[in-house]
Structure 1
């Protein structure tokens, strides 16, 4: 059994039983299972396969073996992990482009236009399965929603580069080094994204702050606790940091 925190701000109890895991099902679970089946049917195997629901209404998903780091320890701060995570996200997006959400799908996050692909919504090291130093799968699709590629890439780059202020405990590297890492991530993803990603990251983080505050205002205790613990303050500091170092970060995209 493992216990991990997910995007919704709560704590999920995830139980592994052989080659499957049982985890609490969100209201969007049936839609997410349709998405996961679609991804597999369209050649993307870097996500769990849905196996339905158990008698306690937990969702049942196949287990992807490997390391799932909460943050990026020194041995995973490599170009290999950066490039494979970017390539994995690209594969997910490409396979999802033909998925057709239903009007009544209860996604956790609202659809954003242009809805080019299905965004993972929380593509980060803590949702990335790593084997032999390479990203091989993304898990926890609870925050999946229709949106533009760059919206999803921005959050992934923020987490994997990372684009965080020194005051953030997960931060490492100076702005020049972070700029080179995000440029490498974007090059590995493909030509659809470039230096403009630097200007999307603050908007993506502000949207996350807004979701946290909205959920807290509705009485969601876990989000209330996260805000009390200063999580939104960290995101706000990271927004200021990215904007303050915008030119340095963007300049890295001009270096081969």
Structure 2
């Protein structure tokens, strides 16, 4: 096979070949492929279609056409994009609610209670496909796992509002602006924007830090590289930022 175009793949090397992408398979690939087939059968068209494995054992999925951004550029920090991201996540959750899990399913991240839906696990700009200023697709379902809706919403809000400290390179906006954007995302999705949400954002970041450190301790070089690059430090700083600006954020929630 000819060399494909390398795409941004997060923890993996992902290559595009025409209208398909190939990426390393994992122990979670079978259940994730079942999940993707299920949500597509429910009418959710914002996810790749799994096409099986190639001769090298890599996953083959359809390519979703559009742009993917590590963080939102200024021209995409619009209410319309925020609404489309929240709406797409809600549609995915609704489609996943009837997915039947089994005892042999090997999720990368542990299931969380209550298992209302299948969480994407990493719903962020870098895993969203954008066309004409609208989020139209979700990619990279490696971190998918059963859990409560708000667990997934909290992380998406953290990334899209964004609820980042000023020193985070992906941060923008004042606490008030961030709070209003967070509230808009929640209201569009259909969950409350309140103190409990901020607590879940912080809990979600702590869980991420713990997971990164546990994987690095087991010898995972990619996670060790992220820790060495300061990712865990950024998350810890953002947790402190949420605590320091809690009142400002809560007041902004009430304004939206």
TM-score by length of 1: 0.96
CA distance in 1, matches of 2:102, 2:123: 23
2:15 maps to which residue?
A: 15
1:193 maps to which residue?
A: 192
Cα displacement string for residues 33-64 of structure 1 (whole angstroms, at most 9, x for unaligned residues): 00000001111110001111101111111111
Quick check: 2:89–2:189 contact (8 Å CA) kept in 1?
Answer: yes
Aligned counterparts, 1:104-123, within 5 A: 104-123=104-123
Aligned counterparts, 1:219-238, within 5 A: 219-238=219-238
CA distance in 2, matches of 1:79, 1:3: 28
Deviation of 1:18 after TM superposition, in Å, equals 2.0
1:97 maps to which residue?
A: 97
Cα displacement string for residues 130-186 of structure 1 (whole angstroms, at most 9, x for unaligned residues): 000000000000000000000000100000000000110110001000000001111
2:204 maps to which residue?
A: 204
In the alignment, structure 2 segments of 5+ residues that lack a partner are none
1:243 maps to which residue?
A: 243
Cα displacement string for residues 196-226 of structure 1 (whole angstroms, at most 9, x for unaligned residues): 3112100000000000000011011111121
1:61 aligns to 2:65 (yes or no): no
1:148 aligns to 2:152 (yes or no): no
In the alignment, structure 1 segments of 5+ residues that lack a partner are none
Quick check: 2:182–2:193 contact (8 Å CA) kept in 1?
Answer: no
For residue 8 of structure 2, the aligned residue among 4, 8, 15 is 4
CA distance in 2, matches of 1:125, 1:44: 19
Quick check: 1:50–1:62 contact (8 Å CA) kept in 2?
Answer: yes
Quick check: 2:7–2:16 contact (8 Å CA) kept in 1?
Answer: no
| More divergent stretch after superposition (238-247 vs 193-202) | 193-202
CA distance in 2, matches of 1:169, 1:15: 27
CA distance in 1, matches of 2:251, 2:199: 13
**Secondary structure in 2 aligned to 1:154?**
helix
CA distance in 2, matches of 1:35, 1:163: 29
Deviation of 1:193 after TM superposition, in Å, equals 3.1
Deviation of 1:5 after TM superposition, in Å, equals 4.0
Quick check: 1:150–1:193 contact (8 Å CA) kept in 2?
Answer: no
Quick check: 1:53–1:59 contact (8 Å CA) kept in 2?
Answer: yes
**Secondary structure in 2 aligned to 1:150?**
helix
Quick check: 2:35–2:99 contact (8 Å CA) kept in 1?
Answer: yes
1:213 maps to which residue?
A: 213
Deviation of 1:13 after TM superposition, in Å, equals 2.1
